[in-house]
């Protein structure tokens, strides 16, 4: 069976939702374009063993919308999109599957640019790139975006610390990093180097052992995160970790992490604010990776990447100042900033 693309019913406010299938290559993927108002849609591809196609659609649509906001806030001249491949990356992924995915991306004729995300590596993306011009984050080009994501989160975390604690000095601050993938581990290294009292958790015990040995981190079981006393919580695993229940138990004053869609529902932002917890919206602080990818899309230099990375921290500072002056939640302020950008005529990045 050759590759087939089927347009599915798109949610209101979205531009396109495509099902890509290639039985011979083992590919079942969804590609979602939320908005191309500011440029072609860009966002990574993740591979995950979703329990159902409906669960995959729920995830890809949330992620695509988040990419619209992330790319707009970072000033990248890109719209928002995302792709998910249904399957277990450790067991099911093959070069043939990634090449088939590349053909699906190419069939969208430049309306969507892809890169790696959870379960997908630069090497996997190189296979996709044999079939499409619109796969980025490649070795020898912009490369793995994870270090850029971690650096952006770290800079924003220090801006948040200045607002919450009066200084960006992290020495002695109790920082819990949840999730020790490429981004989480890199962030943990930066936090430890800044003198923080690092705590870590992950479902991978070997990753926790490494962080404890190499970084001097204290470890806690994944189901004990919200029983810990901490100053800063950095969620860097999958989304939805902040629910009404966990927000009520969280013992931190600042939340700043790399995970996408950290709030299980929008009303959790108000619960955090009511408890005096400052939340830095994930799509603002975790844009470092897409900034790196955008430099490859647009053909810009490292200097451009660094300029945009510094701008993220500036946006966070503006957002916090407006939230403090108006009493609005940080999520509402950030969303308002993006909506103003989306209403402006498209400008080149």
**Residue numbers belonging to the annotated binding site for NAD(+):** 179-184
* Strand, helix or coil for residue 293: helix
Q: What's the CA gap between 11 and 34, in Å, rounded? A: 9
For the question of residue 109 being annotated catalytic, the response is no
- Among 128, 120, 75, smallest CA distance to 298 is for 75
Contact 6, 21 (CB under 8 A): yes
Instruction: Provide the 8-state DSSP code for 166.
Output: S
Strands (DSSP E) found in 129-274: 174-178, 197-201, 218-219, 232-235, 254-255
Q: What's the CA gap between 219 and 239, in Å, rounded? A: 21
Q: 70, 82, 173, 190: which is the annotated catalytic residue?
A: 82
- The dihedral built from the CA positions of residue 7, 10, 15 and 19, taken in this order, carries a sign that is negative
Q: What's the CA gap between 196 and 92, in Å, rounded? A: 39
Q: What's the CA gap between 212 and 208, in Å, rounded? A: 6
User: Which residue, chain included where needed, has tokens 């999958």?
Assistant: 238
Q: Chain centroid to CA 332: how far? A: 19
Torsion of CA 46, 48, 54, 59, to 10 degrees: -40
Which residues make up each annotated binding site?
179-184
The residues pairing with 222 across neighbouring beta strands, listed in sequence order, are none
Residues with catalytic function: 82
């Amino acid at each position: 069976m050759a590759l087939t693309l089927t347009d599915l019913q798109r949610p209101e406010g979205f531009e396109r939702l495509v099902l890509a299938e290639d039985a011979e290559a083992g590919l079942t993927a969804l590609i979602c374009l939320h908005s191309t108002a500011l440029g072609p849609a860009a966002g990574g591809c993740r591979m995950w063993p979703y329990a159902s196609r409906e669960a995959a659609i729920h995830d890809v649509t949330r992620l695509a919308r988040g990419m619209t906001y992330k790319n707009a806030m970072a000033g990248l001249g890109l719209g928002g999109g995302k792709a998910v491949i249904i399957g277990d990356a450790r067991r099911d992924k093959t070069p043939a599957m990634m090449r088939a995915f590349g053909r699906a991306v190419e069939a969208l004729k430049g309306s969507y640019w892809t890169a790696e995300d959870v379960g997908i590596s630069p090497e996997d993306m190189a296979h996709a790139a044999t079939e499409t011009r619109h796969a980025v984050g490649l070795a020898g080009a912009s490369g793995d975006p994870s270090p850029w994501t971690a650096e952006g989160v770290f800079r924003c975390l220090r801006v948040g610390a200045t607002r919450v604690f009066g200084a960006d000095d992290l020495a002695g601050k109790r920082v819990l990093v949840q999730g020790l993938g490429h981004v989480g581990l890199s962030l943990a290294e930066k936090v430890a180097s800044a003198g923080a009292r690092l705590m870590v958790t992950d479902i991978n015990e070997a990753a926790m052992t490494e962080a404890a040995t190499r970084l001097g981190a204290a470890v806690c079981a994944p189901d004990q995160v919200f029983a810990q006393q901490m100053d800063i919580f950095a969620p860097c695993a999958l989304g939805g970790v902040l629910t009404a229940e966990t927000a009520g138990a969280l013992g931190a004053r600042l939340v700043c992490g790399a995970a996408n869609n950290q709030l299980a529902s929008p009303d959790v932002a108000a619960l955090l604010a009511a408890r005096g917890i400052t939340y830095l919206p994930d799509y603002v602080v975790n844009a470092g990776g897409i900034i790196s990818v955008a430099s490859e899309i647009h053909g810009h230099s490292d200097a451009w990447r660094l300029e945009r990375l510094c701008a993220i921290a500036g946006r966070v500072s503006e957002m916090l100042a407006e939230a403090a002056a108006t009493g609005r939640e940080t999520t509402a302020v950030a969303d308002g900033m993006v909506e103003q950008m989306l209403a402006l005529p498209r400008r080149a990045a």
